[in-house]
Amino acid sequence: MIIPAIDLIEGDVVRLYQGDYNQKTTFDLSPLAQLKSYQDQGANWLHIVDLTGAKDPNARQTQLIAELVNGLSANIQVGGGIRAEAQVAELLEIGVKRIVIGSLAVKEPALVQSWFKKYGPEAICLALDVNINDKGEKVVAVSGWQTGGGKSLESLVEAFKPYGLKHALVTDISRDGTLQGANTSLYQEIASLYPEINWQASGGIASLDDVAAVRDSGANGIIIGKALLIENFNVTQAIACWPTTPGDKDVS
């Protein structure tokens, strides 16, 4: 499944290079118009990252997100700075279909596990943003990728499997925003280890060949941000590259 994405800082559509707020590109685009274009081209799910909220949870762009949800018919997945249950409840109340939880799953797993029990595994997607070290260990980063969490991807998956973990978004930080291609070997490995989980791939997508490579890796969906913004290809072309067949698992 193709999942177009936009990142937002103070209402602007932006892209960061490897999660660095000091390496930001701002696009002169309306967030709603851009997402509506993706929807009109056939996207059933859209991904929004509140980078303002990720940096300062007290400055979350909830009102803007509500306006976007109200203006769209596609399913919306939102991440960035989720730190408290009140924020989860608020986003679900305004019509967001799935909440992406990153740092908190590393720092306070018991709290996030309680949300799985209360809201159900369909409502939560774990964001596992990894730095892969020289030993090949997939260390999950926290706090907007500024620090390492000290936990491996595998250990977090095992911690949440008993709570029904179904959706996980995995980003190789070294690829994000670089347009250097996705880390398909990473997705092959985790899809093989945990076939029951719907894996969303993210980071490095530059071309339709990259989309096809992720499709063949065993991932169930792909987040595409920068490549669409700079018009390397469009959503219609990406969907044509990743057709849905009756046997496919769906991230929905």
Residue 48 is predicted with a pLDDT of 97
In a domain, 249, yes or no: no
In a domain, 246, yes or no: no
Can you give the three-state secondary structure of the chain, one letter per residue?
Answer: CEEEEEEEECCEEEEEECCEEEEEEEECCCHHHHHHHHHHCCCCEEEEEEHHHHHCHHHCCHHHHHHHHHCCCCEEEEECCCCCHHHHHHHHHCCCCEEEECHHHHHCHHHHHHHHHHHCHHHEEEEEEEEECCCCCEEEEECCCCEEEEEEHHHHHHHHHHHCCCEEEEEEHHHCCCCCCCCHHHHHHHHHHCCCCEEEEECCCCCHHHHHHHHHHCCCEEEECHHHHCCCCCHHHHHHHCCCCCCCCCCC
User: Is 60 exceeded by the pLDDT of residue 246?
Assistant: no
Mean pLDDT, range 168-188, rounded to an integer: 81
Residue 145 is predicted with a pLDDT of 43
Rounded to 5°, the CA angle 194-92-7 comes to: 75
User: Is 70 exceeded by the pLDDT of residue 134?
Assistant: yes
C-alpha dihedral, 99 to 247 to 213 to 134, nearest 10°: 60
Q: What domain range includes position 180? A: 2-241
When mean pLDDT is compared over 16-20, 138-142, 154-158, the highest value belongs to 154-158
Q: What distance in Å separates the CA atoms of residue 63 and residue 73, rounded to the nearest whole number?
A: 17
In a domain, 252, yes or no: no
Mean pLDDT, range 42-57, rounded to an integer: 92
Q: Which of these ranges, 74-88, 173-187, 191-205, has the smallest mean pLDDT?
A: 173-187
The number of domains in the chain is: 1
**Catalytic annotation, residues:** 7, 129
User: Is 80 exceeded by the pLDDT of residue 199?
Assistant: yes
Residue 241 is predicted with a pLDDT of 94
Q: State the chain's mean pLDDT as an integer.
A: 89
Mean pLDDT, range 218-228, rounded to an integer: 95
Q: Bigger pLDDT: 40 or 57?
A: 40
In a domain, 177, yes or no: yes
In a domain, 187, yes or no: yes
Mean pLDDT, range 143-160, rounded to an integer: 75
Residue 147 is predicted with a pLDDT of 46
Residue 131 is predicted with a pLDDT of 84
User: Is 80 exceeded by the pLDDT of residue 45?
Assistant: yes
Residue 247 is predicted with a pLDDT of 44
Residue 149 is predicted with a pLDDT of 54
In a domain, 247, yes or no: no
Give the whole-number percent of the chain exceeding pLDDT 90: 69
In a domain, 94, yes or no: yes
CATH of the domain at 66: 3.20.20.70
Residue 56 is predicted with a pLDDT of 86
Residue 144 is predicted with a pLDDT of 47
Q: What distance in Å separates the CA atoms of residue 133 and residue 51, rounded to the nearest whole number?
A: 26
In a domain, 120, yes or no: yes
101: burial class by Cβ within 10 Å (0-12, 13-18, 19+)? buried
